[in-house]
Structure 1
Amino acid sequence: MIKVPAKSVTAFILTGMVLATAVQGQTVTKADYERANRFLWENVDTLVFRSEVDPRWDDRTPVFWYELDTRRGTEYVLVDAENELKKPLFDHVAIARGLSELLDKKLDPYDLPLEELEYRHADRVMTFEAGNQTWRVDLQTLDIREVEAPATDDPDWVSERLLSESPDGRWTVTRKEYNLWLKNNKSGRTFQLTDDGTGKQVYGASLPWAWKNREGPTEGEREPLRLSVSWSEDSQKLVAHKLDLTKARKMYLLQNVPGEGFRARSYSYYRALPGEDSVATQVPFVFDVKTRAKKRLQVGPYDDLIAGQWRWYGEGSNKLHMLIHERGYGSATLLEANPETGKVDTVFREVSDTYVDPNKIHLEILPETEEVIWLSERDGWNHIYLYDLNSGEVKQQVTSGEFVVYDIEHIDRDNRQILFTAGGRESDRDPYLEHLYRINFDGSDLQLLTPERATHDITFSSDHQYFVDNFSRVDMKPRSVLRRTADGSKVMDLETADIKDLQAAGWQYPEPFKLKARDGKTDIYGVIYRPSNFDPDKSYPVIDGTYSGPQAVRTPKSFAGGYRNSDQPLAELGFIVINVDGLGTAGRSKRFQDYSWKNLGDIGGPDHIKTIRELAERYPYMDTSRVGIYGHSAGGYDAARAILKYPEFYKVAVSSSGNHDHRVAKAWWPELYMDYPAGPHYEEQSNLNLAGNLEGKLLLVHGDMDDNVHPSETYMMANALIEAGKNFDMLIMPNKTHGLGGENNYFTIKRWNYFVEHLMGAEPVWHYASE
């Protein structure tokens, strides 16, 4: 509990009286709602042009094309990196004229219906779909011809999601009725590889986190599990798991408003809950293409939750590797298997006192040198390590220092160099900003390839000699440039975002800030959103937009994140909205993130409260007597917990799709951050236990078809509040899944109204409908 010192009570009451007087008579008009509506994602996007280059690189040459939103419509641009040439991909007017004749309707040159567009630079040919037809264009002659769709040669063969072709193209494996089949692509002959598969014993499959099917006498409406097999490079063998669902248990959803008929329909999906032993398991098998022989690897069965995929390495069929975690993610182990004998050995095992984060792992085996590239937090920061594949020992820590390697982008085996992205190395900037670097295997010659103080989004050419760099910040509009990978030097400018219409609508850059966390030492970062008609002489309620899930960063770092969000529209109604990433979240040191280990119930609350209070000292127009909070999913847990744990600070909360008790969540997520087995801290950090603390206004929202965070989470929270005799509001949205989006932005406007009515104390514009 956060308490006001006794000597400050009188001043606090007087301040409250002054603020109450200041905000008395505050109103919200339809014009405010229209302005908020204007800044919704789908509307604000129409006000920004040339914001991003999404290159489609040629497979053989350093040439790419991209599609661009401009003021006159959609343009297509071709870039030749070697020759430093940028020009239109085709003559828009000529293509529009020719296609208009063929489709017998007039087409705008900058609004062409080019679906599934592909371009082959070698012969300057473009293909696309338009008017339910496929077209081929010779860009040298501008000849447009219709192309016949390829016929399917085997109507009894299965869907693409159940096909896997061998590297040499000679074979295709598929799954029919739970068993694996092999097809000779030349002769068309098929061979059955397994015959003991059943509905509970499925070959070549692993469970996704949600696999819904309609209950009843048939399971025909359920999508089959995606085929999961791995081919050896010489196409002589393949490896696949046998998924055992015997002990797996299901969750259920009831669709009360079905698409047809009047009877509610039930759906089910396999879902392991934290701490449960009744989970799906896997057993690995190797199959010989020539002999059709099947051999079990001498490991397993292991829980489907923690198993990776076996992968081949080298030119032959003599080695397999797989990365596997333990439940609770306290370790990650690299296994090596001999496909001939089935023998399985451990290469190395990474162990942590908390968890080895699977979201930060990058594993790459270098067969030609018998080495492994591996990301590890063993020194407290996520860094690159070089291992000896035979001994399992570290040969070299490649990167080091107080910064975080986000991912390995490319490994140049010949020159023994690594391209990687990282944040926090440059001392003069926000540590979350992502940059590209190059370094030698021995840790020497570290080079920054993207120097601008911004976050950089990189896309490489097929030969990794060039890359397109889209960079921006929340307070800097995007630029796109083409660079050389050798030294990061700029080849040419590509685009600079045109945001004139956005600014004409009143939009202003959100304000980034840096403060100290609760420990008084650690820097934490956030942004402030103000309404476009902001008046510093007015008093504004404050809303905390939250998501403290340890795998995420809530505060946007890019320009797109800064304007495409749900915070700015909310601010337009007359609020100050803040984001801040407190202790326990991602993107920083292991110590920073580990603050939330076995401690998800902390939700960064003290950091958020400290931030809002310090910002209010800097900006007196922020009214800390009227603070609300909202969040979705793990953020929904945060929002409800905040108003229950800190009722003297947070007055209004909107909690959507919240996982209020981690014992009901999908097993891997809580087990990663709360450990396994599920100890008493799971019970202690359940929001249900705090239901009796509710003093403010709380809105619970959930979709009844949410297969990510099950609706029972919100029903249980509601039940606890009812048992505690607390007044709250609840909205169950029929046929909505986890996202809650859809027609008329109903939920968004409901959230707006809730804060307007209960935090601002104004009358909402009831029945406002977003267009």
Structure 2
Amino acid sequence: MTEDVQVLRERVGEATGQTPAGRGLPFDHVGFVAPRLLATAVGSTRVTLHLDTGAVTAVPAEHPMDTAFGLSESARRAPREFLRTMPLADPQKTRELASPDGDLLVSTVEGNIVLRSAADGRPVPLTTDGCPEHEYRFDLVDPALASMGMAFPVCNWSPDGARLAVHRVDNRGVHAAPQVHYLKREDELVHRYHAQAGGPLERCTLHVLDVYGRPEVELDLGDTTDTYPVHAAWLPDGSQLVVFVLRRDCRRLDVLLADAATGATRPMFSEESESFVRIHHDVYFGRKLGVFPTPDSTGLLHLSERSGWKHLYLYDLEGRLVRQLTDGQWPVDYVHRVDDEYAYLTAHLDQDRPYDVHLARVPLAGGPVQRLSEQPGVHSVVFAPSGEALVDTWSTPAEGPRSVLRRADGSLLCELSTADTSRLDWTPPQQFTVTAADSETELWGVMFFPADFDESRQYPLVEHVYGGPQLAAGPHSFMGLFSRVAHALAQLGHVTFVIDGRGTPERSKAFHDVVLRDWTAGLVPDHAAAVEQLKRRHAFLSDAKVGVVGHSWGGYSAFRLAAERPDVYAAAVSSAPGFDPYSSVLYECYLGFPQTDRDAYRNADSYRVADRLESAFLLACGTSDHATWTDSVKMSEALIRAGKPHEFVVMPEQYHGFGSVHDSYLWRKVSGFLRAHLEEK
């Protein structure tokens, strides 16, 4: 290895005419520009490295003026920003999507699909009949959702780059939520489409566009009213697309095969259940559909919870079940690669540690699941383009990330990196278990401590809650989704914990289904039971009532915990909370429809329990958060009418997430609020 590095340094020196600094690899990042060709920069010089020959070639420098005016090769090929519209959310800045060969880049402008050629950098509309009310879109992976494991690569371009899969959304008749912008000289009112529970839903149709000018093809799906149709995948040969259609109530899905040239479709298989077969967030936002074509275009893998656990099934293209590939009392997380012999997946294989995620593979021909990772923790995987090797990275809440390079069979090639946590000024978090309110089910959580934690002292206990049915919030890796806020709350002088009660995913279907038609069935009893057990177990926890802090769905949960268990919670913070179950289609998967499931919606409605609030309460919301601003104003009104004192922190011009200045302001408010209302001993 040392000799290889030295040879590489010498070749870099020859190519660039300068001696690389240091002693190791003379660059800190690389990227593939072809299957066996890497590109990187050494100082100000760009170079390519050929993996087969070891040749290092300097790339001629581009003229600064060419780059500034978008005329250089790199500027023409670099994806540019555009404003992307999204379901239920505000438009977001994102970047063009490049075709497989990088010669074309796609975006949307005022409801139409636009292609930009890397040859001259000029855009050309591919559709012309779109408009904001009836617009074309294409799927993109949201980086924030991808970081949470809630979004995965989606299919737009055909494998040969000749066709583009898009959808057209008809928003006419859908509820438009008002959004007022106050900070200019004159107020500005805009509206954002936001379908409400039981109300009109946008109608979506699927289309295939041809970059060489052939007519647009609409896939024959019949009436798509009250369904969510999605392009799931191109078959590798590019002739057909797999289409995934989820019924609006999430109780039935249909998988079809569509001819890309004619739009003709035929059914492959369906799945129906008394509860959700896919959760709404996975389909609506993350496109985490769970269908994967085989490389030879003869089969389709499908993730299903029909057995009570999420497992993998193989179908042929006639829709016949060939075999079940995985089985057992543990769930598959997701499939990350399929080759001619194996499906490579992540799964919760160790039910003694149910939130650990391991790498595994299973033969398509049938056979036992082969575990590829050994160490406890949450493992993630990145495959080499060839599939011959993979990077395995894992961590626990108390152990920093480690990365190793493995062959596809799991055998170790080399260590890549190990995070050094020795200089952290911290007390490492601890995983723990408690028993749910049913006195049977084991719940898992993570506890966070002040940096100067002293076990002989007593500390107030604060819960950082989410409680939503679409994701497991417990941060069981080193930098889990909820780690940052939990660490921050602990540094205010509290012991903080995050736990996943019944009604959340990543366990059995029965564990998740507790949320069905009754959000509070697991939420309030389980979280309150966890508090009581932790306080009995640890002498360093104060006997006083505890605090609870939550954002978004967690804002709802924090309020319900405080309102329904004033004997447990002394203070609650709800930021960007969604209190009103009637306000969004996101609730339909779990509650049904207001017209037919009136009791479920009434029980989920938090305004009706406002008069039960005895805890100190801080409410915070951004005025531009069209999804939750109205909910927050209604809650404040309900509390005022009930004679309940509370603080309402208004965040001007903020959306569902807060900018750094406003976030810092809110944290100062939260710090003082918790200090004032949590008793310390």
Q: Tell me the TM-score normalized by structure 1.
A: 0.73
Q: Distance in 2 between matches of 1:90 and 1:267?
A: 57
CA contact (8 A) 1:612 1:624 kept: no
Q: Distance in 2 between matches of 1:494 and 1:299?
A: 48
Q: Secondary structure at the match of 2:237?
A: coil
Structure 1 residue 347, shift from structure 2 partner: 1.2
Higher relative contact order (CA 8 A, sep 6+): 1
Q: Secondary structure at the match of 1:735?
A: coil
Q: Distance in 1 between matches of 2:292 and 2:416?
A: 33
CA contact (8 A) 1:643 1:696 kept: yes
Q: Which residue of 2 aligns with 1:556?
A: 475
Q: Which residue of 1 aligns with 2:336?
A: 409
Structure 1 counterpart of 2:40, one-letter code: M
Q: Which residue of 2 aligns with 1:737?
A: 655
CA contact (8 A) 2:139 2:156 kept: no
Structure 2 counterpart of 1:421, one-letter code: T
Q: Distance in 1 between matches of 2:62 and 2:577?
A: 50
Q: Secondary structure at the match of 2:345?
A: strand
Structure 1 residue 649, shift from structure 2 partner: 1.7
Say whether 1:445 aligns with 2:368.
Answer: yes
Say whether 1:433 aligns with 2:356.
Answer: yes
Distance 1:495 1:729, change over 3 A: same
Q: In the TM superposition, what are the counterparts of 1:302-381 in structure 2 within 5 Å? A: 302-303=224-225, 306-309=228-231, 311-313=233-235, 315=237, 317=239, 319-339=240-260, 342-358=263-279, 359=282, 361-366=289-294, 368=296, 370-381=298-309
Q: In the TM superposition, what are the counterparts of 1:677-756 in structure 2 within 5 Å? A: 677=594, 679-680=597-598, 681-707=600-626, 709-743=627-661, 745-756=664-675
Q: Distance in 2 between matches of 1:357 and 1:307?
A: 13
Distance 1:87 1:417, change over 3 A: farther
Distance 1:85 1:430, change over 3 A: farther
Distance 1:367 1:592, change over 3 A: same
Q: Which residue of 2 aligns with 1:9?
A: none
Structure 2 counterpart of 1:610, one-letter code: A
Task: After superposing the two structures, state which structure 1 stretch, 394-403 or 299-308, moved more.
Answer: 299-308
Structure 1 residue 682, shift from structure 2 partner: 1.4
5+ unaligned residues in a row in structure 1: which ranges?
Answer: 1-79, 101-106, 210-227, 763-771
Structure 2 counterpart of 1:242, one-letter code: R
CA contact (8 A) 2:514 2:522 kept: no
Q: Which residue of 1 aligns with 2:46?
A: 136
Q: Tell me the TM-score normalized by structure 2.
A: 0.81
Q: Which residue of 1 aligns with 2:678?
A: 759
Of 473, 488, 495, the residue aligned with 1:576 is 495
Q: Distance in 2 between matches of 1:629 and 1:153?
A: 54
Q: Secondary structure at the match of 2:515?
A: coil
Say whether 1:265 aligns with 2:161.
Answer: no
Distance 1:143 1:746, change over 3 A: same
Q: Secondary structure at the match of 1:307?
A: strand
Q: Which residue of 2 aligns with 1:421?
A: 346
Q: Which residue of 2 aligns with 1:103?
A: none
Q: Which residue of 2 aligns with 1:543?
A: 462
CA contact (8 A) 1:178 1:199 kept: yes
Q: Distance in 2 between matches of 1:371 and 1:311?
A: 12
CA contact (8 A) 1:84 1:491 kept: no
Q: Distance in 1 between matches of 2:47 and 2:236?
A: 41
Of 501, 516, 521, the residue aligned with 2:435 is 516
Structure 1 residue 387, shift from structure 2 partner: 1.1
Task: After superposing the two structures, state which structure 1 stretch, 695-704 or 567-576, moved more.
Answer: 567-576
Q: Distance in 1 between matches of 2:356 and 2:545?
A: 32
Q: In the TM superposition, what are the counterparts of 1:26-175 in structure 2 within 5 Å? A: 118=31, 126-127=40-41, 135-137=45-47, 146-148=61-63, 149=66, 152=70
Say whether 1:485 aligns with 2:403.
Answer: no
Q: Which residue of 2 aligns with 1:201?
A: 134
CA contact (8 A) 1:703 1:735 kept: yes
Structure 1 residue 355, shift from structure 2 partner: 0.3
Q: Secondary structure at the match of 2:460?
A: strand
Structure 2 counterpart of 1:482, one-letter code: L
Task: After superposing the two structures, state which structure 1 stretch, 530-539 or 232-241, moved more.
Answer: 232-241
The C-alpha deviation readout for 1:310-365, integer Å capped at 9, x for no partner, is: 65425363x33310111121111112234555433221111111101243641112
Q: Which residue of 1 aligns with 2:167?
A: 241
Distance 1:169 1:753, change over 3 A: closer
CA contact (8 A) 2:126 2:211 kept: no
Structure 1 residue 447, shift from structure 2 partner: 1.4
Q: Distance in 2 between matches of 1:501 and 1:283?
A: 55
The C-alpha deviation readout for 1:484-542, integer Å capped at 9, x for no partner, is: 222x222222222211221xx2x111121122212222211112223233333433221
Structure 1 counterpart of 2:167, one-letter code: H
Distance 1:620 1:369, change over 3 A: same
Q: In the TM superposition, what are the counterparts of 1:566-605 in structure 2 within 5 Å? A: 566-602=485-521, 604-605=523-524
Distance 1:626 1:444, change over 3 A: same
CA contact (8 A) 1:603 1:638 kept: no
CA contact (8 A) 1:473 1:557 kept: yes
The count of residues paired between Structure 1 and Structure 2 equals: 633
Q: Distance in 2 between matches of 1:542 and 1:523?
A: 21
The C-alpha deviation readout for 1:397-449, integer Å capped at 9, x for no partner, is: 11000001001121122xx21111101x235x411101001111243132111
Radius of gyration: which is bigger? 1
Q: Distance in 1 between matches of 2:109 and 2:433?
A: 57
Distance 1:724 1:90, change over 3 A: farther
Q: Distance in 1 between matches of 2:505 and 2:449?
A: 26
Structure 2 counterpart of 1:405, one-letter code: V
Q: Secondary structure at the match of 1:302?
A: coil
Q: Distance in 2 between matches of 1:163 and 1:684?
A: 44
Structure 2 counterpart of 1:355, one-letter code: F
Q: Secondary structure at the match of 1:560?
A: coil
Q: Distance in 1 between matches of 2:418 and 2:104?
A: 47
**Taking every aligned residue pair, what percent have the same amino acid on both sides?**
29
Structure 2 counterpart of 1:592, one-letter code: F
The C-alpha deviation readout for 1:673-722, integer Å capped at 9, x for no partner, is: 22235632212211101011111211111121224x42111111111101
- CA RMSD of the aligned region, Å? 4.1
Structure 1 residue 90, shift from structure 2 partner: 6.0
Q: Which residue of 2 aligns with 1:674?
A: 591
Q: Distance in 1 between matches of 2:307 and 2:299?
A: 21
CA contact (8 A) 1:472 1:479 kept: yes
Q: Distance in 2 between matches of 1:138 and 1:650?
A: 59
Distance 1:168 1:476, change over 3 A: closer
Q: Distance in 1 between matches of 2:275 and 2:357?
A: 26
Structure 1 residue 265, shift from structure 2 partner: 2.8
CA contact (8 A) 1:539 1:623 kept: yes
